[in-house]
Every structure is written in C-alpha cells, then in structure tokens.
Amino acid sequence: KTVNVAASATETVIKNTLPVAEVDGVAYDTLPEVVAAIENKVAAGATAVTVKLLSDVSVENTTLSIPNKFALTLDLNGKTYTYTDDRTDVQGDGAARYAVDLGATSTLTVTDSSTDQTGTMKAVGTALCCLNNNGGTLNVLGGRFVMASTSSSYAIFSQNGASTIIEPVAEK
C-alpha cells in the first residue's frame, strides 16, 4: 500500500522507539502521527515540510509518496529508515515497491545532520529501490543508501526526466 498525504496515517505498519520524528520541529511518537502532521500542513496550504528522524524506523509494504508541487526535506539525523517489502513479483498488483516515491513535480531533499554522518535509508526483501524519482527533483546532500533486496540493486532510481543531484559527503 502507499501512504499519500491524502491517505489515512493509520495504515502504516511501524516498529520503532519513541519519539520517531519531528515535523517542522514538533516531535511525534509514531509514524502515522508524522504522516498526519504532514497531511494537516498540506491541508493548511503548506508546500514544504522538514522531517527529522529521532529514532530508527522500520516500515513494511508501505511507500511514502510525495505529492506533486510539494517539497519534503528528510533529515536522517544519524538514524536508519528501513523499508521492507515482502510481496512477490508474481502478485501482479502493480504496487510500488519503493521506500519513497517522488511525483513529477515534487521535491525531496535528503540530509544527515548527525556528526558521524551515519544516517541510512535501507531497502530489503523484494523492494525495488530506496528512492524512486519519477520526474521530480531529488537532492541527496547526505545519508547512505543500502540495498539488501532480492529484486533489485538500485538504491536510487531516476526516470521520466527526473533531476537527481548527489553531493559528495566527506569521509569521516
């Protein structure tokens, strides 16, 4: 299933310690609360939001879709965001198998504000990639991307005229 900013935040399956993240500086205990906070900001007319991870997060079979004309900054903050997909390719359900999916006019900026620069996005199981840029703008300014998938080896997949900028991070 896909969690859009218009979807119910209660659909997300999570395993984490608390609190999980901040949205524009306000801490939330669960990923559904984070998604609801983003939904509320969109409903109020916001076009951008910053999410900072405060603990490691595991998400199962749930893609975070960034809507068109919306900008999300994801600060990994030294934490790990693990996306697990256990669906088989023969299901033919057409389901997205990405941790994050960018729309044609959406923007995602990934950073890692931690001192050690250990923030990681990881895709496991039958996941196709960590970040799917489907014509949007992706700016990777920090973070590590790990594929532990049986289906693909793409950490970042850009298509349909997408703009993807990856800034080098100094080795520590």
Residue 152 carries which side chain, given as an amino acid letter?
S
Structure tokens at 29: 């205990």
pLDDT number for residue 39: 86
pLDDT value for 17:
52
- Residue partners of 152: CB distance under 8 A and separation at least 6: 127, 128, 129
Please, are residues 136 and 102 in contact by the beta-carbon 8 Å criterion? Answer: yes
Extract the residue ranges of the chain whose pLDDT is less than 50: 1-16, 90
Per-residue pLDDT reduced to its tens digit, 19-61: 999 999 999 998 888 889 988 998 899 999 999 999 999 888 7
Q: What is the pLDDT, as a whole number, of residue 103?
A: 87
pLDDT digits over 52-68, tens only? 999 999 888 777 888 88
Which token pair is 32? 């559904």
Burial (Cβ within 10 Å: 0-12, 13-18, ≥19) of residue 114: middle
